[in-house]
Amino acid sequence: MNQKVLIVEDDEVTSLNLKMALQKHGYDVVALADSVIHARNKIKIYEPDIILLDISLQEGHDGITLGQYIKEKHDIPFIYLTSHFEDDVIEEAKASEPYGYIVKPFDPQGLHATIQMALYKYEQEQKLHHDLDTLKDGKMHLEKLLFAKKISDKPVIEFGEGYHLDIDLDKIFYEGKMLKLTKKENTFIRLLVAQLGVIVSFEQAVNYVWEDEGATENNVRTLVWRLRKLLPTPIIKNASGIGYYIEG
């Protein structure tokens, strides 16, 4: 495990009890801090994986101020330690988007479970951000491919026999007549046209057409089945078990 933990707590007894409980579960408690200034310095020095942060530092709500600072300046999940149940305090704390709350006096098992859930949530968020960044980069690349295929100064790409894609309108035409396609059907054709003669994999299609909607290969197959019924000619070809393509 060995996740690095910073404890920010101005009550020395509570701080030491937290440290011992965490060490028993295999965490690496890299530092203790009892004020906002100390905490900021130790965050920079130790770069912890997670921070346990008392809401009521120095008899105020400085912990929430520090939580907001961590949210804005550092990519580190934090969990509030609190003995406060006032609605206004909880609402103020929620605005800084903590990864959990631990009520004092804490239960060691509950402490461990809360930290693990917070770290898992953070890991999933990081994965989602990475996937979205990758998708964004992929879409930019595909748009460049489309632009390179257009006819001189016109926003038109011809494909198949009698088909063309109007990039500006984002519409598909056959022999000059616009085809009535759904947004996903249109997007899938756009993907195939961007890579004429190249197989578009199931994974590519899912990421590009459905983005983060949790689609599967069966969704792609169903989409192609519908398109083959709608398109005037059979231009979408199979690459068995891999994906689909339109001949260049």
pLDDT digit string (tens) for the chain, length 248 residues = 589 999 999 989 999 999 999 999 999 999 999 999 999 999 999 999 999 999 988 766 688 889 999 999 998 999 999 886 667 777 888 888 899 888 888 888 889 999 999 998 888 777 756 555 554 556 666 777 666 666 567 888 888 899 999 988 889 999 999 999 999 999 899 888 888 888 888 988 888 888 767 789 999 999 999 999 999 999 999 988 889 999 87
Helix, strand or coil, per DSSP, at residue 77: coil
The verdict on 30 and 78 lying in the same domain is yes
Give the end-to-end CA distance of the chain in Å, rounded to a whole number: 52
pLDDT of residue 201: 87
pLDDT at 53: 94
User: Could you tell me if residue 142 is inside a domain?
Assistant: no
Strand duo 163-166 + 156-159: pairing: antiparallel
CB atoms within 10 A of CB 196: 16
Q: Is position 140 within any domain?
A: no
Q: Is residue 21 one of the residues assigned to a domain? A: yes
**CATH number, domain with residue 114:** 3.40.50.2300
Is there a single domain that holds both residue 22 and residue 80? yes
> Do 169 and 76 share a domain, yes or no?
no
Cβ atoms < 10 Å from Cβ of 87? 8
